[in-house]
Amino acid sequence: MSQLTIEDIARIAGVSRSTVSRVLNGQPNVRPSVRDRVQEVINSYGYAPQAAARQLVMRKTRLIGLILPDNAHHLFGNPIFAEIARGVSQVCAQRGYTPMLFIGRQDMDEATFFSLLRGRHFDGVVLISSDRQDRSAAMLREAGMPYVRVGHDPEDDQDLQYVDVDNVAAARVAVEHLIALGHRRIAMLKGLAKDVCTHARLEGYRQALAAAGLPFDEALVGDGDWTPASGYAWTRRFLDLPEPPTALFSSNDMMVAGVVRAVQERGLKVPDDLAIVGFDDLLQTTMIFPELTTIRQPCVEMGTRAAELLLDQLEHNRRERAQIILPTSLIIRESCGYRRRVAASVEVKAAAPTAGDLQQPS
């Protein structure tokens, strides 16, 4: 018998299922002779009396499902998911769990996916998704599977626990920085329309423009898809406008690689002709030149906090609402032109004559 269950033990030992549970949990209210008989069955089938037997009772696998968005290219084309997964893996390793990577449902129909969840192949799930079209969260709830979400849809108030950043506020800070540098025509590259963060970052862009008394111009907003190719295509369109933008806010760093290429192909320069601010601050985008000014979101910490919430659910039955919003920060580098502006300001002040340099009339 390769997989011994509580029912198997009870049948072989000639006792009730509840008696087996009491023995495996070490509860005292079992006669010694009965306890010995149950323990003998467990030992005879090669199960350790503590860890493995308790796993049978609690139905624990110590496996954590890590569900990413449907398109597998997101994992490799956008390193944000790999960073979040790294945070999840760190916590799992520390607490004796093994994460299982599961890249969306892809071609799996809902019935098969639901069956997988009901089969309890893992103890809980970290769901990385803010996709409004993704029914994974609803199906996790239907299957009774404990989960924590990274990324949150405000229209889905049934997420008990999630980790996210304030995408509206972060985007507003990015655009306000460009406005403070004197820019008045600021383009924006959005992400995929199905992603909640896309709409949140667009709202932050709108708010920054409105607060500065600047009009919202649809011609300056591009429907990107998080990839460098979309950044390239939309920047070419922006530069072809009768009055092209002088600055651009990209909803992620990956699209900026395409933006820079399009600018350079026109014989223009960043930030002289187009100032840029991105969003994510991932290690891979440090190779963009000039160095990218961007919004840093704590991707690894998002993964660690989500995993901690989930394991606390599993180990301590902590199922109270927990909505964690982590802070972002604006990382100022070369691509926005701020450092050049400061340097120029310092040079002007150094060149200005001091009171001691002025000649007094004779």
Place of tokens 């190719």: 229
Place of tokens 């799996």: 108
- Please state the pTM of the whole predicted model: 0.76
Domain with CATH 1.10.260.40 in the chain: 6-49
- State what percent of residues in the chain have pLDDT above 90: 51
How far apart are the C-alpha atoms of 6 and 274, rounded to whole Å? 67
3-state secondary structure (DSSP) of residue 147: strand
Do 102 and 67 form a contact (C-beta atoms < 8 A)? Answer: yes
Q: Which CATH class is domain 167-297+328-341?
A: alpha beta
How far apart are the C-alpha atoms of 294 and 283, rounded to whole Å? 12
Per-residue pLDDT of 92-111, as tens digits, reads 999 999 888 765 555 555 56
Pick the closest to residue 105 from 78, 76, 129 (CA basis). 129
Per the prediction, the chain carries an average pLDDT of 83
3-state secondary structure (DSSP) of residue 199: helix
- Min mean pLDDT across 73-87, 112-126, 293-307, 341-355 is at 341-355
3-state secondary structure (DSSP) of residue 126: strand
Pick the closest to residue 224 from 258, 260, 196 (CA basis). 258
How far apart are the C-alpha atoms of 9 and 325, rounded to whole Å? 47
Q: Examine the pLDDT at 359 and tell me if it is beyond 50.
A: no
Domain with CATH 3.40.50.2300 in the chain: 63-165+300-326, 167-297+328-341
Does a cis peptide bond (omega within 30 degrees of 0) precede residue 353? no
Per-residue pLDDT of 77-87, as tens digits, reads 568 888 999 99
* Numbers of helices and strands, H then E, in the chain: 14, 12
Per-residue pLDDT of 241-293, as tens digits, reads 999 999 999 999 999 999 999 999 999 999 999 999 999 998 877 788 899 99
Structure tokens that stand for 233 in this block: 């295509």
Per-residue pLDDT of 137-195, as tens digits, reads 888 888 788 999 999 888 777 888 999 999 999 999 999 999 999 999 999 999 999 99
- Out of 8-17, 27-36, 110-119, 210-219, give the one with best mean pLDDT: 210-219
Identify the CATH number of the domain defined by range 6-49: 1.10.260.40
Q: What pLDDT is stored for residue 353 in this prediction? A: 43
How far apart are the C-alpha atoms of 331 and 78, rounded to whole Å? 19
Q: What pLDDT is stored for residue 117 in this prediction? A: 67
Give DSSP secondary structure letters for 3-25: S--HHHHHHHHTS-HHHHHHHHT
Mean pLDDT across 118-125? 77
Under the banding of pLDDT at 50, 70 and 90, the label for residue 3 is low
Mean pLDDT across 351-359? 41
* Max CA pair span of the chain: 119
Topology at the third CATH level for domain 63-165+300-326? Rossmann fold (3.40.50)
The set of residues, in sequence order, having a beta carbon less than 8 Å from that of 213 and lying 6+ positions away, is: none
Per-residue pLDDT of 303-338, as tens digits, reads 999 999 999 999 888 778 899 999 999 999 999 997
How far apart are the C-alpha atoms of 67 and 318, rounded to whole Å? 22
3-state secondary structure (DSSP) of residue 248: strand
